[in-house]
Structures are given as C-alpha cells and as structure tokens.
Amino acid sequence: MCGIFGAYSPMGKKVLEDVYLGLYALQHRGQEAAGVAWVNSQGRISSIKGAGLVHLALNQAELAAVETSCAIGHVRYSTAGGSELANAQPLTASTSKTSLAVAHNGNLTNAGGIKLFLENRGAIFHSATDTEVILHLMAHQPHKESLDALLDSLTRLRGAYSLAMVVGQDLVAARDPWGFRPLVIGQRDDVFYVSSETCALNLVGASVVREVQPGEVVIFGRKGMDSIPIPVEVKRRYGCAFEFVYFARPDSVISGRSVYEVRKELGRKLADRAPCPEAHLATGMPDSGTIAALGYAEKSATPYEQTVVRNRYVGRTFIEPTQRVRELGVRIKLNPITEVLSGKNVVVVDDSIVRGTTCQRMISMIKACGANQVHVRISSPPVRFPCYYGIDTPTRVELAAARMNLRQLEREVGADSLSYITEEDLIEAIGLPCGEVCTACFSGQYMEGGEDHEPEL
C-alpha cells in the first residue's frame, strides 16, 4: 500500500499545503507515519516526518507558510522495514551531483541483494526500508547526471515501485515497467501533481491529465513536463487486482475504471456465482464489503440493510490491548444492530478473508444478536499466497484459505455457508485484459524472472 503525492509549480507558487491535503486524501493507504520533503529557499531539501495519522504527524498551518514550489509527501504502511520513524518517508540524501528525496509505494523483490552489493562497496544504510537502495544506487554513479543515474538505477530494480521524487529542483515521477501500483498525473492551472490515486487530485481541485505509464519516468521542471522511458522490456503488465477489491478509495479511477463500479460489479458476479435464495437480507462488512453488498443485493433482489455500525472515531492506535479490550475484540470498532438481525437469514458480503479471525468474530456477534443463519459471500477469490509487491500479507501458513479447504474454512469461521467468486469473475469485473492484472495472491502466479520469490510454505 502506502500513498505518495507530489506537486510542482513552474511559476513559483506555494505547493506544500496541497501536498498535505493530498496525503490527507490518501490516508486510507497508510496510517503508521506521514512525511513531506521540499526544496527550501537555499535550493536544498528539507523534510518533516512524524508517526501516526497525517494531522498528528504534520502541522498544516506551518506547512502552508513554507515558500516552496516543489514538494512530495508519503503516508506509510510498512511492508519492508518496521514501523519505526527511521523508516518513514520521504527519504532524503545529498550526492556529489544534487539533493534527492524519494517517496515510494510498492516493494522491491531484489532489494536484499542490491543492499548487500552496496554495503560491500561501502554504503551505510540508515533505514530498514527497501526504498533506500534507490538513493544509494544513484549516489554510486557520480560520473552521471542525476536523471541518467536514476534511469540506470531503475533498470536494476525488480518488483513494484511507484515513485514521487525531488531531484535537484525538479519533481520526478516513475512507475515500474510492470505497472503494479497506480500513479496518476494531475494539473490545476500551472501546478502539476502526481498521486497514487485520483481521489487526492479531486481534493486539491486538480484535473486528471493521465496515468504515469508502466515503465515511464516523468519530469516536471521549469520547461514543463517531459517523459523518458525506462529501458526495460517486460512480457506483460501486473496491475494489482487488490487495488480494485480493497485498497483504493471507491471514488478513485484506476486504468480508466471506476473503483466503485468495479466493486459493485464484483457483488453482482458474486450473486450469480453464489446465490442464497433463503436469505431475508444482504449486508456488507463496513466499510470493506459495503459496495459489493449493494451489487449483490441488486442482482439477487435481496433487500440491503445496514446491520453493522462502525465506530468511525476508533483508530488503529485506539487504546492499549488490555485483557478487557481483548475480550471486547472487534466490538470496539463494529457493533451489530440486534433489531435488524433477530430472526433473519443474513448474507454478509466482505472483500476477502485473510487470517479469518475478524470474520469469525463478526459471525459470532451477528448470531448472538439472534440471526438464524449467516451466509458469508466474498467478493474476491480465496487469498492463498503472500504478496511480494507491496502488501503486508502473511505467509501461507497464516492464510486461512491456504490452510483449509472451503468446507473447513466455513466451519472455522462459523458460517452456515461460505462462497467466493472465481479469478475469471474478478478479471471480468475489473474489465482489463487478463495479461494486465496481477492475481498472484489468489493464483500464486508471480512475475517471471530469477529475482522473484516463490510462495512461502
């Protein structure tokens, strides 16, 4: 996950508050830390990073007063490296040629090998994040101009990277040749933006120009916008299916497809694939299953009801997990409505089952409210394999669908029935060619190449 946002004004307008607002719109992509970096009045790079949500990590009023026309920002969800503040981004560095800052969404599958190579050449790493190898690769090419060093560095990377960078005085965006993670360009008057999702562009009043293409580096400088291809040939694209299933905000558009419409279509596919004629009502797990539940209810002609209320003021760091809090479990965040559920046969739609713990507790709570039957419907295929491209999924032994067959998992979570859509249903609902969608977490079909991981056992 992670969210990145950048802004550049060739006319010298202040842009740092826009970066703050862009990160605010991308908060769903990471809640562990937030940071910004910008070109200061001396022409070098300054940065501020903090733990937690954007409004806690950064001071909007202070950022709004900063005179800078080039800035980037990042909200963190840790995959490589822990949640320590040292791993928060943007990462900054100075080389013999220029000053650099980088914000990265994705995961580099060959970062370990590159890091060992660089350390043997004298590099000293200050973080545990894979992103830092990009800065070191550039610094170890002092004979090249900065953009040439960047391009050469990107050719050495495998895996997923969508980048927003400050290189000298310019804003630079880059996307890996496989296109794992989204990255889009926006514009408002003379200000250019790059963002993980279109919803952040909407907030700052920018229009969508286009997506950064897989294998493209885009430079925003005094002369406007320029584009350079990354000289890497690939056999196919690997746009992440889970962006449509769960990660992206429903008001975003990815690869020309409305995330909201895709999720609703997933629900319709689910109704065709796994009808439940005895159900009195359909509901969605808030908020992950809500839109798919609307599609399911529409296609199956089952009344939709909101049966579970989410406490929207509970963050991930609500209170320490004391014994009393562990006893309350999921009820701290989610609470079923007894009056709606009592005596009913209920279809509960959710986007996925990972470990199965939350689903198990939710079904138990719904049945405790007097529901006769609880039928679970999942708007994605079973998650049986870990992701190596930017999602912090467990190893196979922790994935419920990898450890158990469908009937075993059904009994494990306490459902009266449990059904998923198929991989074919998913690709049809997304509406992109099969060769452009990554379904490795469902199928185990990872990107080709010797640097890629095999599924963990």
Cα–Cα distance between 73 and 199 in angstroms, integer? 15
Domain boundary among 234, 250, 269: 234
pLDDT tier for residue 391 given thresholds of 50, 70 and 90: confident
pLDDT at residue number 397: 85
Residue 214 sits in the same domain as residue 321: no
- Residues contacting residue 370 through CB under 8 Å, at least 6 positions apart: 338, 341, 342, 343
What CATH code is carried by the domain that includes residue 320?
3.40.50.2020
For residue 247, being part of any structural domain is answered with no
Q: At 1, list the tokens.
A: 């996950």
Mean pLDDT of 163-184: 97
What CATH code is carried by the domain that includes residue 163?
3.60.20.10
Residue 206 sits in the same domain as residue 350: no
Residue 162 confidence (pLDDT) above 80: yes
Number of domains, the chain:
2
Please check whether residue 101 is in contact with residue 47, taking contact to mean a CB–CB distance below 8 angstroms: yes
For residue 448, being part of any structural domain is answered with no
Residue 230 sits in the same domain as residue 370: no
pLDDT tier for residue 409 given thresholds of 50, 70 and 90: very high
Residue 230 sits in the same domain as residue 350: no
Among 80, 81, 74, which Cα is nearest to 102's? 74
Residue 173 sits in the same domain as residue 64: yes
Residue 274 sits in the same domain as residue 228: no
Mean pLDDT of 328-352: 90
For residue 457, being part of any structural domain is answered with no
Domain boundary among 217, 234, 251: 234
Strand partners, 350: 378
Range of the domain at 134: 3-234
Ranked by mean pLDDT, the top range of 117-131, 264-278, 353-367 is 264-278
Residue 223 sits in the same domain as residue 312: no
For residue 255, being part of any structural domain is answered with no
Catalytic residue numbers read 2
For residue 306, being part of any structural domain is answered with yes
Residue 42 sits in the same domain as residue 143: yes
For residue 372, being part of any structural domain is answered with yes
Residue 306 sits in the same domain as residue 225: no
- Residues contacting residue 285 through CB under 8 Å, at least 6 positions apart: 308, 334, 348, 349, 350, 351, 362
- Over the chain, what is the mean pLDDT? 92
Structure confidence by residue, pLDDT tens digits, 258-273? 999 999 999 999 999 9
Query: Of 284-288, 338-342, 393-397, 411-415, which gets the smallest average pLDDT?
Result: 393-397
Residue 1 confidence (pLDDT) above 80: no
Cα–Cα distance between 193 and 225 in angstroms, integer? 11
Total residue length of the chain = 457
Rg (CA), the chain: 23
Structure confidence by residue, pLDDT tens digits, 88-111? 999 999 998 899 999 999 999 999
- CA distances 328 to 144, 341, 372, Å, are 58, 20, 23
Residue 453 confidence (pLDDT) above 50: no
231 backbone dihedrals φ, ψ, rounded to 5°: -75, 65
pLDDT tier for residue 228 given thresholds of 50, 70 and 90: very high
Query: Of 39-43, 83-87, 121-125, 277-281, which gets the smallest average pLDDT?
Result: 83-87
Residue 337 sits in the same domain as residue 406: yes
Please check whether residue 34 is in contact with residue 23, taking contact to mean a CB–CB distance below 8 angstroms: yes
For residue 11, being part of any structural domain is answered with yes
Residue 220 sits in the same domain as residue 314: no
- Residues contacting residue 117 through CB under 8 Å, at least 6 positions apart: none
Strand partners, 254: 257
Residue 293 sits in the same domain as residue 154: no
For residue 156, being part of any structural domain is answered with yes
